């Protein structure tokens, strides 16, 4: 489907919002939340899936799985090289998120690395060796305050959203534990389509349906696996995605981070060691909403000393899943950005 042909009506947007809250919700649960029939929800959702407009994917939490930790990187490129460089970086399996942005940097990405030694190898022998990169800035993520895949605030009414969240269930605190071979096989299948039925998972992996259900439920409950509904925000009425790099008086760092994490338009907040103290990502309706967020939210953060904002122009990857861009070919070449 071409970008021009993609139009989501209010019901479609509500279904997508429901899937953001609970990626494996039943059609009945979603229908109850949006106020229509099971068959209507199923038909509309299947159309969105088959057209490639929406995908629900699974990914692991590296900290809870003991498989690594996240690192944020900002990249500057030589003139005209950033789309190609971004596309090459997006091919890396250790890149969880990557976007082309405005501002001081051309590209923002998140890597998952197992150790500082691996980070050195990735930087010096991998990323910085890519032709077209002029400089990089690397920050270790030292605290996660919010990693949210639910950002279509206001699309569903509050009782419906709460009902879906309750059906999804809470995450319990457990010690980090690696995935075993069967769990890794489950996650690999769910990483392509997180709405595969338990019967389908069981059939492909040669296990019983009850075992597939029990293993997936445990992984989700322990927070080792999470589901992400991948959709371009503009299709839901959000035209601006912004990265904010914040210098904060360290005495107020925790308060500032928690203030941001409580905001519904903020989907990511992390404490970082390096270029800045806090990194924040916000999803906003338009530039007027960005102005409001800047002057009413950021400006009133305790201890704020400096703010830098970069707008996301093109997102190539989110939660390890490639995002189809209307502006880039598969090789990263320009399709007519003006």
pLDDT in tens, 220-248: 999 999 999 999 888 988 999 999 999 99
The pLDDT score that the predictor gives to residue 323 is 82
**pLDDT over 70 at 329, yes or no:** no
> Domain spans of the chain?
1-53+152-173+230-236, 63-150+238-322
Lowest mean pLDDT among 4-8, 39-43, 128-132, 186-190: 4-8
Q: How far is CA 263 from CA 146, 180, 292, in A?
A: 10, 36, 13
Paired sense of beta strands 107-113 and 69-77, if any: antiparallel
Mean pLDDT of 106-122: 96
pLDDT bin (cut points 50, 70, 90) of residue 328 is low
Distance separating alpha carbons of residues 171 and 165, to the nearest angstrom: 11
Distance separating alpha carbons of residues 29 and 161, to the nearest angstrom: 11
Which one is the CATH code of 63-150+238-322: 2.160.20.10, 3.30.70.3460, 3.10.450.40, 1.10.3720.10? 3.30.70.3460
**pLDDT over 80 at 2, yes or no:** no
Task: Read off the pTM.
Answer: 0.89
Q: How far is CA 33 from CA 5, 22, 162, in A?
A: 27, 11, 9
Mean pLDDT of 211-226: 96
Q: Is 110 helix (H, G, I), strand (E, B) or coil?
A: strand
Residues 6+ apart with CB under 8 A from 288: none
Domain 1-53+152-173+230-236 -> CATH class: mainly alpha
**pLDDT over 80 at 151, yes or no:** no
Contact 310, 101 (CB under 8 A): yes
């Amino acid at each position: 489907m071409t970008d021009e042909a993609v139009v989501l009506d209010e019901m479609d947007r509500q279904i997508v919002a429901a899937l953001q809250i609970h990626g494996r919700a039943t059609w009945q649960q979603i229908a109850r939340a949006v106020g229509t029939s099971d068959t209507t929800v199923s038909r509309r959702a299947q159309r969105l899936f088959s057209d490639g407009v929406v995908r629900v994917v699974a990914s692991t939490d590296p900290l809870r799985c003991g498989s690594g930790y996240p690192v944020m990187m900002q990249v500057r490129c030589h003139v005209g090289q950033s789309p190609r460089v971004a596309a090459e970086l997006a091919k890396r399996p250790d890149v969880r998120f990557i976007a082309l942005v405005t501002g001081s940097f051309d590209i923002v990405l998140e890597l998952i690395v197992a150790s500082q030694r691996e980070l050195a190898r990735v930087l010096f022998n991998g990323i910085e060796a890519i032709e077209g990169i002029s400089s990089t800035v690397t920050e270790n993520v030292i605290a996660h305050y919010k990693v949210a895949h639910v950002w279509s605030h206001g699309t569903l009414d509050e009782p419906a959203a709460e009902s879906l969240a309750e059906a999804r269930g809470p995450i319990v605190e457990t010690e980090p534990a690696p995935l075993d071979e069967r769990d890794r096989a489950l996650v690999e299948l769910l990483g392509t389509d997180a709405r595969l039925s338990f019967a389908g998972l069981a059939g492909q992996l040669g296990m019983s349906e009850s075992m597939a259900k029990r293993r997936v439920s445990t992984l989700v409950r322990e927070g080792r696996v999470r589901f992400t509904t991948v959709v371009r925000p503009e299709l839901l009425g959000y035209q601006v995605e912004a990265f904010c790099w914040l210098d904060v008086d360290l005495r107020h760092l925790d308060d500032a981070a928690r203030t941001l994490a409580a905001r519904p338009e903020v989907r990511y907040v992390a404490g970082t060691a390096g270029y800045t103290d806090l990194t924040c990502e916000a999803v906003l309706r338009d530039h007027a909403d960005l102005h409001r967020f800047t002057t009413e939210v950021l400006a009133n953060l305790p201890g704020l000393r400096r703010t830098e904002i970069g707008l996301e122009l093109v997102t190539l990857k989110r939660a390890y899943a490639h995002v189809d861009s209307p502006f880039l070919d598969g090789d990263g070449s320009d399709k007519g950005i003006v």
